[in-house]
Amino acid sequence: MTGRRRTAVLISGRGTNLQALAAAAQSPAYPAEIALVVANRPEAEGLGFGKSKGIATAAIDHKIYAGREAFEATLQKLLEAHRIELICLAGFMRLLTPGFVERWAGRMINIHPALLPAFRGLDTHRRALAEGVKIHGCTVHFVAPQMDAGPIIMQSAVPVLETDSAHSLAERVLRQEHAIYPLALALLARGELEIVGQAVRVARPGEPDEPLIAPHPALPGGAGKGRKPA
């Protein structure tokens, strides 16, 4: 018994965030272990990754269930059988009922590819480009009954470039997803998060980082990023 928090990762597709979480959890010092991978689509690529790492995996095909409650009843039984304490949604494309969300309140987190509360829902990168935002990013948040609306744990921002396509922007954001999801899960697993109203307090917040200004103005005399205008 290592004392690490037993965590399930719920996926629907390729599972690169699952890979990032599993990579972090390979360190014995990491406070969570990935004990179960569940997909609601049997063909989800991430299941193969889970198996290859010796993680327990399961497909619960939502299409064979009469409704969300029946699907979630099977899911809940599986989570209990594996003594799961925490849940990470990672590209899990299935809405969960308020009952299931309530049951896991404070113990279930999600990663969203936008700086919430901007761009809830799907197709976030295309919409960000269409709106002309200069800064975009990703958010890890507690799951609430409303979609993409729970208390925000951590965010990472990236510049939007004039040359960006939705694809190139998605890649830049995805690298940040892989960076912050393991950090956020570690905070949760160590019990270092407290939900206060709609906000999340972190027990030992790090020093604030540099501001991100985008596009960063090119300054005369070769001064550029990281230099303050005179």
Point out the residues that are catalytic.
112
- If the CB atoms of residues 7 and 17 are measured against ligand GRF, the closer one turns out to be 17
CB nearer ligand GRF, residue 10 or residue 224: 10
What is d(CA 169, CA 155) in angstroms, rounded to the nearest whole number?
A: 16
**Which residues are within 8 A (CB) of 169 and not within 5 positions of it... i.e. 6 or more apart?**
125, 128, 129, 136, 158, 160, 161
Q: Return the number of the residue (147 or 214) whose C-beta is nearest ligand GRF.
A: 147
- To the nearest whole angstrom, how small is the minimum distance from the Cβ of residue 196 to ligand GRF? 25
Torsion of CA 31, 37, 39, 45, to 10 degrees: 100
| Binding site residues, ligand GRF, CB under 6 A | 11, 13-17, 90-91, 111-113, 174, 177
Question: Cβ 190 to ligand GRF, closest distance in Å?
Answer: 23
CB of 170 to ligand GRF, least distance (A): 7
β pairing state of 152-159 and 135-142:
antiparallel
Q: Give the Cα separation of 28 and 19 in Å (integer).
A: 16
